[in-house]
Amino acid sequence: MSDTVQDPSEFPAPWNYLIPLAKRALIWGTFFALLWVFRHFLPLVFLTFVFAYVAEHGVEGIAHWVKSRRWRTAIVFLTMIGVIGLTATLLSPQLKNQAVSFIQNAGKHEAAINDFLDKQRASSPFMKDMLDEVHAKDILGELLGKSKEVDPSTSFHETWGLLLGIFRNAASATTTFLLSMLFAFLVVADLPRMARGIESLKKTRLRHFYDEVSTTVFRFAQVLGRFLEAQLLIAIINTALTATGMLFLGIPQIAFLSGVVFVCSFIPVAGVFISTLPICIVTLDHSGISLVLLAIGMIAVVHIVEGYVLNPLIFGTHLKLNPVVVMIVLLVGHELAGIWGLLLGVPAITYLFGHAIRYDKA
């Protein structure tokens, strides 16, 4: 029996249009169904991609000095592990202690915020009406993920339950990190042969699936890689500037707050507001409203530098979207996919408008 398939363009209208459309819908439906089935492995796949993308740049960068690809891969990954291990050794004790202190002092922070809100409500009838329904426990509850209706007698057990949950998540994250580093090493070390193996799918019965999906996935991976690479550099500079400002102002718990700033730097636009909240809470409890205003001014200066200097220099002309569009993408992405919507929403929309809906120049 022949495997020859009639060209859909030879069918009469409207089948010459509907058959290719149905084929593409089936292929992409299958692709996204597979992503949904294996969604629990997405953190592992994502971290593997990040490490492999960064390492591949390093491997290609030292190709002039070291000819063997496997030796280059070993050098790059040993360097990455050394840098990450040294950073973790130096910062993790302070980060852990200050994070525990921040959570344990939630009651103290709550009292400081309530005192400030009471003073503002007493200052004028307008402030009283505006802040009438605002309470510190609601603010801290949003920050710590706690319920608004909390029995004070259970706060100790709830705090330790939260800490245990954090440590369990840390153990799971460590396992995912180690596995992704191992998989990334294996991928980068054998990347040319893997690429040839994937390309050989064009000569199999999966050729239609390969032809439809491969180019899109490759281009999106390039956009995502450039986005994460640029965002990582911006996050490092942003965190360093913010930490320097907090040190200059005498704000405590710098390691923990800098960690929050670093993580939130990967969330466009909204990350600024998320990272500012714990800084303001700690500052208000430590020194009062005057230092809070100075801290907000310092953060504003840092993000002006980020917005008008770092972003144009590092991002260039690509991966630029209107801030309103970014906020809409983040809101919809978080509602549909949680943290993955926040991380991948902007690169996905950038790819959609920059590549997917445009005609090929050829």
Where along the chain do its domains lie? 215-362
Residue 78 has pLDDT above 90, yes or no: yes
Residue 220 has pLDDT above 50, yes or no: yes
Rounded to an integer, what distance in angstroms lies between the CA atom of residue 164 and that of residue 169? 9
Query: Each residue of 285-302: pLDDT tens digit?
Result: 777 778 888 888 998 898
Mean pLDDT throughout 253-269?
A: 81
Query: Each residue of 37-46: pLDDT tens digit?
Result: 988 888 899 8
Residue 126 has pLDDT above 60, yes or no: yes
What is the reported pLDDT for 342?
74
Mean pLDDT throughout 28-54?
A: 89
More reliable by pLDDT, 253 or 77: 77
What is the reported pLDDT for 83?
87
More reliable by pLDDT, 286 or 51: 51
- Lowest mean pLDDT, pick from 97-106, 223-232, 252-261, 267-276: 97-106
Query: Each residue of 159-187: pLDDT tens digit?
Result: 555 556 656 666 777 788 889 999 999 99
What is the reported pLDDT for 4?
56
Mean pLDDT throughout 191-199?
A: 89
What is the reported pLDDT for 149?
47
- pLDDT > 70: percent of the chain: 72
What is the reported pLDDT for 1?
45
**361 confidence band (pLDDT: 50, 70, 90):** low
What is the reported pLDDT for 157?
55
Residue 19 has pLDDT above 90, yes or no: no
The pTM of the full predicted model, rounded to 2 decimals, is 0.69
Rounded to an integer, what distance in angstroms lies between the CA atom of residue 225 and that of residue 196? 21
More reliable by pLDDT, 305 or 123: 305
For the chain, the three-class secondary structure string (H helix, E strand, C coil) is CCCCCCCHHHCCCCHHHHHHHHHHHHHHHHHHHHHHHCHHHHHHHHHHHHHHHHHHHHHHHCCCCCCCHHHHHHHHHHHHHHHHHHHHHHHHHHHHHHHHHHHHCHHHHHHHHHHHHHHHHHHCHHHHHHCCCCCHHHHHHHHHCCCCCCCHHHHHHHHHHHHHHHHHHHHHHHHHHHHHHHHHHHHHHCHHHHHHHHHHHHHCCCHHHHHHHHHHHHHHHHHHHHHHHHHHHHHHHHHHHHHHHHHHHCCCCHHHHHHHHHHHCCCCCHHHHHHHHHHHHHHHHHHCHHHHHHHHHHHHHHHHHHHHHHHHHHHCCCCCCCHHHHHHHHHHHHHHHCHHHHHHHHHHHHHHHHHHCCCCCC
CB 73 within 8 A of CB 185: yes
Query: Each residue of 1-13: pLDDT tens digit?
Result: 445 555 666 666 7
What is the reported pLDDT for 183?
93
Residue 148 has pLDDT above 50, yes or no: no
Mean pLDDT throughout 357-361?
A: 64
- Lowest mean pLDDT, pick from 82-96, 269-283, 314-328: 314-328
Residue 58 has pLDDT above 50, yes or no: yes
Residue 153 has pLDDT above 50, yes or no: no
Mean pLDDT throughout 133-147?
A: 56
Mean pLDDT of the chain: 77
Residue 79 has pLDDT above 90, yes or no: yes
More reliable by pLDDT, 340 or 224: 224
